[in-house]
Amino acid sequence: MRPGALRFCFGSGCGRGFRYGVGGFWVLGVAILLLTGSRCSYASSRAQSVAPAGGSAVRAEQVSGVASGAASGVASGAAADGYRGFDRNEYPGDQAMAVLHRSFAFTGYWLTNPPGEDRNSWKGKRETLRRQGWGFLVLANGRLDAEIRRAQRRRVSPAALARSDAESAVANARVEGFPAGSILFLDQEEGGELLAEQAAYLLAWTQTVAGSKYMPGVYASGAPVFIRSGDPVPVGAAAAAGQTTTTIDDIRSRVVAGGLHAVAIFDAQDACPPAPGCTLLTHPLASSGEIVLSPGGDLVAWQYAQSPRRPELTRACAASYARDGNCYAPGAPEVFLDMDLASSPDPSHGR
């Protein structure tokens, strides 16, 4: 482990099989237009394509808070505390999406292959979903540190790799029909303080998108880690001021220090508390305590539940998840997913 190396991986594309290190997609809460990895020892996965054995038998009633919330009909995901949405790697199907829209206002939408996948099943579905009334959280997969370092050995700089990836994401967004001004979120799978090559990649990606007709955003971890060791801060543990940081804070400080284009932040944080677990009954965004807002920033979105759950972070809300550890959608018990909350029914302004 080099000094400053990220200590955890919180996304499904980060080193298959790694299951602990720290943090996690993850850490959610989004500060939009914020002035604003690495050695994997922890992986939490984004909702994947196929329900695990026995998954189809898990009923929506098994999701704490969802039974009553879904039964009463949370109209298009709207509620007093914000708008509910979800993200997952695999497209659930047109019919399932119509059912899911009874409970959720917006959906994650991949412009690239999702983490760990060799195809993108969301491709070409924007217009179908727009007609169904969905809002969007537009996502593009980033690079793991190992991939960036392999490119460097081929004499491809992190910035050059990022520019190429960003240009592809912009081109895909244009083909999908996303309007000018839509926010494209780079999926930063690894958490903790960014390594030099990771920071170079991430900031070159956001700057390239900022030079297009779209706006840059980053999906990253808001889970606290100790600055000196990079180890995760245990849930409920107290730490002295100045001893911890988050990937979000690191990104924010680099953007400000570099005088770079503002970056919208999609913050993943599924630790209970502050996360409520797999439920439609959440805290208002304004009081979630998820992140310290940048000057003039607003909390836009928060990923508060992941599938499968991370046991070491979700002990206090374990009963809210299904027996197999996943979070299932109300009305579509075969669909497991990650749950999000936003202040807008269309967080990426993608309609």
CATH number of the domain within which 80 lies? 3.20.20.80
Domain assignment present for residue 351? The answer is no
Which amino acid is residue 268, in one-letter code?
A: A
Nearest by Cα to 81 from 337, 305, 270, 283: 283
Domain assignment present for residue 350? The answer is no
- How many structural domains are present in the chain? 1
Compute φ and ψ for 204, nearest 5 degrees.
Answer: -70, -35
Domain assignment present for residue 2? The answer is no
Domain assignment present for residue 115? The answer is yes
pLDDT (mean) for 115-130: 97
Q: What is the mean pLDDT of the chain?
A: 77
Domain assignment present for residue 311? The answer is yes
Domain assignment present for residue 347? The answer is no
User: What pLDDT sits at residue 286?
Assistant: 55
pLDDT (mean) for 180-188: 95
pLDDT (mean) for 155-179: 98
Using the predicted structure, report yes or no on whether residue 134 has a pLDDT greater than 90: yes
Question: pLDDT by residue (tens digit) across 139-157?
Answer: 999 999 999 999 999 999 9
Domain assignment present for residue 274? The answer is yes
Structural domain of residue 130, as residue ranges? Answer: 8-342
User: What pLDDT sits at residue 10?
Assistant: 60
Using the predicted structure, report yes or no on whether residue 35 has a pLDDT greater than 50: no
In b/e form, how buried is each residue of 126-153, taking b as 16+ CB within 10 angstroms? beebbeeebbbbbbbbbbbbeebeebee
Domain assignment present for residue 349? The answer is no
User: What pLDDT sits at residue 19?
Assistant: 25
Strands of 148-191 (E only): list them.
Answer: 183-187, 190-191
Strands of 198-280 (E only): list them.
Answer: 215-221, 225-226, 244-245, 264-268
Q: How confident is the model at residue 283 (pLDDT cuts 50, 70, 90)?
A: low
The residues, any chain, with a CB within 8 Å of residue 222's CB and separated by 6 or more, are: 26, 27, 28, 29, 246, 247, 248, 267, 268, 269, 290, 291
294-299 own/partner pairs: CB under 8 Å, 24+ apart: 294/31, 294/34, 294/35, 294/36, 294/252, 295/35, 296/33, 296/35, 297/31, 297/32, 297/33, 297/34, 297/35, 298/31, 298/32, 298/343, 299/29, 299/30, 299/31, 299/343
Give the C-alpha separation, 30 to 302, whole Å: 6
Give the C-alpha separation, 124 to 46, whole Å: 21
Strand 78-79 with 215-221, pairing: unpaired
